[in-house]
């Protein structure tokens, strides 16, 4: 519910004209008349000027009511324009798609989600495999066989994290607008400049971390 009533508006407009159209004097007299505490809320300068403007143009200090139905920019033409743009360039962001039809990015997002049922799918990053990498499968099968032969076997589990220095694709900033998941992947070369952190965990404790 709005804080200011018609009595407040009428007093402000009348006081404003009686005191040389001074906003400061109007605010001071408003505080005294309605017994507002020192730090209590009173109409701001913009609010007072808005009420005066409404009174001058409509003979009423109240907010002008908007007639008719609310306007919308999500017209069939704009929806179709966004559909065509996304189908031609599904990797472009909603902000970029909003530039051509001169729509706000918020409107474009609403059209994509609510009118077209599109969803921004993330890019999946997978390592580029070569013939040497398939040896890992054989190693896993060998380890499983070793466990079957010796249940008391202790395995040292290690893991490394790579910090690439060549500016690889950041999938957090990548979206693919579509009604279905395109399952798109991006292959990146394995040998590249990077910093590697290695550590290992076993039954007897932790080894590392080591930086390479």
If asked whether residues 202 and 129 sit together in one domain, one would say yes
**CA–CA distance, 111 with 120 (Å, rounded to integer):** 13
Stronger pLDDT, 83 or 62, i.e. the higher one: 83
Report if residue 200 sits inside a domain: yes
Report if residue 165 sits inside a domain: yes
- Vertex 59 angle, CA 56 and 65, to 5°: 100
If asked whether residues 128 and 206 sit together in one domain, one would say yes
Residue 16: predicted pLDDT: 92
Report if residue 64 sits inside a domain: no
Report if residue 172 sits inside a domain: yes
DSSP 115: I
Residue 191: predicted pLDDT: 63
Q: What is the pLDDT of residues 146-192, one digit of tens each?
A: 878 877 777 777 777 766 666 565 555 566 677 777 776 766 666 66
If asked whether residues 139 and 186 sit together in one domain, one would say yes
Distance of CA 196 to the CA centre of its chain: 32
Report if residue 71 sits inside a domain: no
Residue 26: predicted pLDDT: 92
| pLDDT at residue 113 greater than cutoff 90 | no
Mean pLDDT across the stretch 52-80? 71
Q: Left (φ > 0), alpha (ψ -120 to 50) or beta: where does 35 sit?
A: left
**CA–CA distance, 61 with 59 (Å, rounded to integer):** 7
Residue 27: predicted pLDDT: 92
Least confidently predicted of 30-39, 41-50, 54-63, 78-87: 54-63
**CA–CA distance, 186 with 168 (Å, rounded to integer):** 10
If asked whether residues 18 and 36 sit together in one domain, one would say yes
If asked whether residues 151 and 200 sit together in one domain, one would say yes
Residue 120: predicted pLDDT: 79
If asked whether residues 131 and 174 sit together in one domain, one would say yes
Task: Name the residue range of residue 29's domain.
Answer: 6-58
If asked whether residues 138 and 171 sit together in one domain, one would say yes
Counting the structural domains of the chain, the total is 3
User: Structure tokens of 118?
Assistant: 């599109």
Stronger pLDDT, 64 or 17, i.e. the higher one: 17
């Amino acid at each position: 519910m709005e804080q200011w009533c018609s009595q407040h508006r009428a007093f402000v407009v009348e006081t404003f004209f009686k005191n040389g159209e001074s906003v400061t004097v109007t605010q001071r007299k408003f505080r005294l008349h309605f017994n507002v505490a020192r730090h209590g809320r009173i109409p701001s300068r913009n609010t007072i000027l808005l009420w005066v403007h409404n009174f001058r143009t409509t003979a009423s200090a109240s907010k002008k009511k908007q007639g008719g139905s609310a306007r919308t920019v999500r017209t069939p033409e704009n929806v179709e324009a966004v559909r065509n743009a996304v189908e031609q360039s599904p990797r472009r962001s909603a902000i970029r798609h909003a530039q051509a039809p001169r729509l706000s990015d918020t409107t474009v997002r609403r059209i994509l989600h609510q009118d077209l049922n599109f969803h921004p799918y993330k890019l999946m990053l997978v390592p580029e495999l070569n013939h040497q990498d398939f040896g890992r499968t054989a190693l896993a099968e060998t380890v499983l066989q070793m466990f079957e032969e010796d249940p008391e076997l202790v395995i040292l589990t290690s893991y490394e994290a790579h910090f690439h220095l060549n500016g690889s694709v950041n999938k957090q900033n990548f979206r693919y607008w579509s009604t279905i998941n395109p399952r798109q992947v991006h292959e990146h070369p394995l040998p590249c400049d990077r910093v590697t952190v290695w550590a290992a965990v076993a039954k007897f404790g932790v080894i590392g971390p080591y930086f390479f």
